[in-house]
Structure 1
Amino acid sequence: MFWAVLVARVLVGLPFFVLGLDYFVHFLQMPTPELPPDATQFATVLSTSGYMKVVKVLEVVGGALILSGRLVPLGLVIATPVAVNIALFDLFLVGQPALGVVLTGLCFFLVWAYRSHFAPVFAVKPKIG
């Protein structure tokens, strides 16, 4: 189980960290994919509004925490919603599963692997303090 979790942490943390950092530093030469009109319009709005800057900061921070092995549950809390949104973008706007679906599956596997840290979230009658 240790090795499966380690591999999943690298497969989740590395793309988030590297692709998030590339948004600011531009060290990767990636071609721009051809997207459907709705996906292009949505991506344009996210970029021009400045929203993607926040998302990319969350990707870098979440990816770094997951990769480092320190505060992994916090990294998952930061990165999993981003992965789910990437998967929804892939499925509903692009129309085909891609990296987001894989990242989401790996994030859910890691949440399950660290389930003891997430158990209090599912408390039916939580106590204050």
Structure 2
Amino acid sequence: MKYLKLVPTFLLAFLFLFGGLNFFFEFVPTPPMSENQALFFNLMVPTGFMKVVKILEIIGAVLLLFPSKRALSLLILSPIAINILLLELLVLGGLGAGPLLIILIGIIAYQEFDKFKALL
């Protein structure tokens, strides 16, 4: 039971680490993009914006693995997850991993609630 509560943490860390590293090393090829997708990514990638986001995803994923740094990790990853969800809804026109990321972050934030009490 003690290890069961770590499942959301490891799953979230894996998803963000995989997404961040895949941007740089592309072990899974990018599927064909719609017109809206291509327009969005053609604005974001050449400016270096996506590199910054992907580096933050990797840092956040690694920090999740350290119990004392989980709250900091959530502060880094939460805005990214919200933007992924908004991208899926507004640009892609459908849902992907965004809702799962938000749910996992919510579970971990609940588990780490004591660290966030001062913010309330």
After TM superposition, is the score higher than 0.5? Answer: yes
Report the counterpart of residue 6 of structure 2 in structure 1: 6
Cα distance, 1:72–1:34 mapped onto 2, change above 3 Å: same
Compute the RMSD of aligned alpha carbons: 1.7
Report the counterpart of residue 50 of structure 1 in structure 2: 48
Pairwise CA distance, 1:7 = 0.3
> What SS does the corresponding residue of 2:71 show, helix, strand or coil?
helix
TM-score when scaled to structure 2?
0.89
Aligned residues: 120
Counterpart of 1:3 in structure 2: which amino acid? Y
Counterpart of 1:14 in structure 2: which amino acid? F
Report the counterpart of residue 65 of structure 2 in structure 1: 67
Report the identity percentage. Answer: 31
TM-score when scaled to structure 1?
0.83
* Moved segments of 4+, more than 3 Å: 1-4
Report the counterpart of residue 91 of structure 2 in structure 1: 93
Specify every segment of 5 or more residues in structure 2 that has no aligned partner in the other structure, as ranges.
none
Counterpart of 1:9 in structure 2: which amino acid? T
